[in-house]
Structure 1
Amino acid sequence: MNPFDPSSFNHRTEKLTTGHTYHFVDQLPPGYNRNTPTLLLLHVFFVFHMDSNPLVRYGWRYQIGPWARRGWRIIVPDCLGYGGTDKPSELSAYTIGSVCCDLAALLDHTGVDRVIVIGHDWGAEIAWRLCLYYPLRVSMVACLSIPFFPPARSFVTLEASVKKAPEFAYQVYFADEASTKEIENNLDFFLNLILYSGAEVTRWAPVSCPPHFEVPVMGIHRLIWRFEFYLQAFRNSLAGPLSYYKTKRLRFDEEKEANLPSALPASLPALFVRGTMDPTSQLRHAIRSKDFVPSLKITTLAGAGHWLMVQRKDEVTTLIADWIETTLHTGRSQAKL
């Protein structure tokens, strides 16, 4: 499994019972059986897992091999709207509840009862909600950058939300119907702004030319992200990724209808990892999330930005793997008592 060679991973494309076709990596370790722990790795926005384009890099590319060599099954899907997975036009398909339904169907299709779900960015938001929508399908949860936020009791507009959390102000622009074409027409500028600041620094940058919004600069060197490949991958294909930002009202309605609990079970092991230089991962939000995730362990990486599994690949790989093994060992020991 070569992190720079997507063809070295085992790719599958399957139609699920939800009607959506998903492309995903399904890496089985030697001696796999139904008792083997399975890790479900989630990430959307700026991470592709396409087998059709060997130049596009994996967001989890550094973790798949090491974690599979620990003896775990690794499933990494292109979420809806990305890569080789379907890109429906209807907005309702991109709600987190709908995507969680797809993921539950993916687990059914792959014969997996319960997973250790690990998510970053929107993938973290989906991972937290998978624990609420399908609690019996998740044995552990680890999230990077985005902490747990409980279902809202009343609807709050995106504009009102960002007044309290201005670090998410860019989402107002992404949710605007005009944003897709404007970003696509300024894609080089936009990707430079998001992915590259010339140094390993994360900061806010005012924008005075199109697209007209403030955006967090995540600050990773071009050579890490292979900028030109991302430029090619996202050209005229941002409608799906940006659809997630347009579903706030739909997400509120579906969570209210589902009567989701506000907290995760105290028995569910949970880990949250954040970087001190990530403007979208404020410590105050992480601390508040402990009120709703009783078992939560918070780990802060000093000097790290948003793209943790790439910027701090070795540290993140070992940190999460050790946490999983310790948790599994503790569970086995308790079962023997």
Structure 2
Amino acid sequence: MAIDKSDPSTFNHQYANVNNIRMHYVDENSTSNKVVLLIHGWPDLWLGWREQIPFLVNLDYRVIAPTLRGFGETDAPESHEEYGYGTVSKDLLSLMDHLEIPTFTVVAHDWGGGVAWRFAQFYPDRVLNVGCYCTPYVPPSREFVPLDKVVEALPNFKYQLRLSSPEAEKEINDNIPAFFARVFRPSSEAHEAWIDPETGTVIAGRPVVPKSDMIPQKVYDHYVSIYTKTGSHGSLNWYKQGWNNFVQCKDLGDNVNQPALMVVATLDSALPPFMSDNMHKYIPNLEKHTIEGAGHWVLWEKPDECNEILKNWLAKVYPLDS
């Protein structure tokens, strides 16, 4: 069956037991020995890469897009203590071991970017190259900084305080169709803040907006169906990871030594471009690009630009004919 990027059922869905969880993943073009591992963020699923998966397959890369722990059809441990960058990196490494893939390139977005940078540091002999959309690299903290202190320095992260609260889980679970209609919007249609400045809510009590025409109906239906089945608890555990990430990563070095790609979107309010300004200090082999007029969902808002940047970078660091 040919991949239809607007129909999630046309992708090759697989499952594996890795690192004590059952993980869902999409695996396309398995005969290629050049593997690109795509890592999604929140409240996304593997499907956030729907514009990139067939593009990379057509170039003849093997593409593996897992659903991270806490999300979708992958197990979601109840306790937030069973998460963190080190734990998730081990999930991904275990998946690649299961598939008998020794080395690969990692490309990520949003929370997946936080994982990808650390994954590259934990397993430099396995991760050959690392690329990221929106999420900047920052060195591991040597002292624990709680989220409220992070927000003082980076007010654009204020929404995370809400998402780490019990109230956020209930309001999302009670309003899943409206939540995805509101969150998955291109920058040109996103006229309101992620969090209501008056009520402090994500979705509760806010006007219902129609689904964006940029989100195919079957794609929207898939997100709504998955979250209706699983709820948002596991995915929201990712916003309670400050301590886990500190403990699991504090002994890593400051630098990422692999060839790296960073792509920022000028209208990304969650991860604004200035956050990546110092990355070159820690990544000797860094290539950086800016996509104008796109927000946080740049992967599908400006897919042609995202894909062209990725194609050109891979041709240099991970060519198919080598």
Relative to the length of structure 2, the TM-score reads 0.88
How far residue 314 of structure 1 moved from its aligned partner, in angstroms, is 1.5
Superposition pairs for residues 189-204 of structure 1, below 5 Å? Answer: 189-196=178-185, 199-201=188-190, 204=193
Show the 5 A alignment for 1:1-337: 1-16=3-18, 18-28=19-29, 32=32, 36-49=33-46, 58-196=47-185, 199-201=188-190, 204=193, 206-209=196-199, 211=201, 222-225=212-215, 226=217, 227=220, 229-235=222-228, 237-256=231-250, 259-265=251-257, 268-329=258-319
One-letter identity of the residue aligned with 1:175: S
RMSD between aligned residues: 2.6
Give unmatched runs, 5+ long, in structure 1.
50-57, 214-218, 333-337
Partner Cα distance (2:133, 2:179) in 1: 23
Match of residue 55 from structure 1: none
CA distance in 2, matches of 1:313, 1:129: 26
Residue identity over aligned pairs, in percent, reads 29
Question: Tell me, what secondary structure is at the counterpart of 1:135?
Answer: coil
Mapped contact 1:199–1:220 kept (Cα < 8 A):
no
User: Once the 2 structures are TM-superposed, how far is the Cα of residue 28 of structure 1 from its aligned partner?
Assistant: 1.9
Distance 1:203 1:113, change over 3 A: farther
Aligned partners of 2:184 and 2:297 also within 8 Å: no
* Distance (Å, rounded) in 1 between the aligned partners of 2:260 and 2:153: 26
- Partners of 1:201 and 1:212 in 2: CA distance: 14
User: Structure 1 pair 199/151, CA: closer, same or farther in 2 (3 Å)?
Assistant: same
Unaligned runs of 5+ in 2: 204-208
Shift of the 311–239 alpha-carbon distance from structure 1 to 2, 3 Å rule, reads: same
Name the residue aligned to 1:52: none
Instruction: Give the total of aligned pairs.
Output: 311
**How far apart are 1:212 and its partner, in Å?**
6.5
Letter in 1 for 2:223: Y
Q: 1:197 to 1:74 in 2, by over 3 A?
A: closer
Q: Secondary structure at the residue paired with 2:64? A: strand
CA distance in 2, matches of 1:120, 1:196: 16
In structure 2, C-alpha distance between the alignment counterparts of 1:145 and 1:220, rounded to whole Å: 26
CA distance in 1 between partners of 2:17 and 2:113 (Å):
24
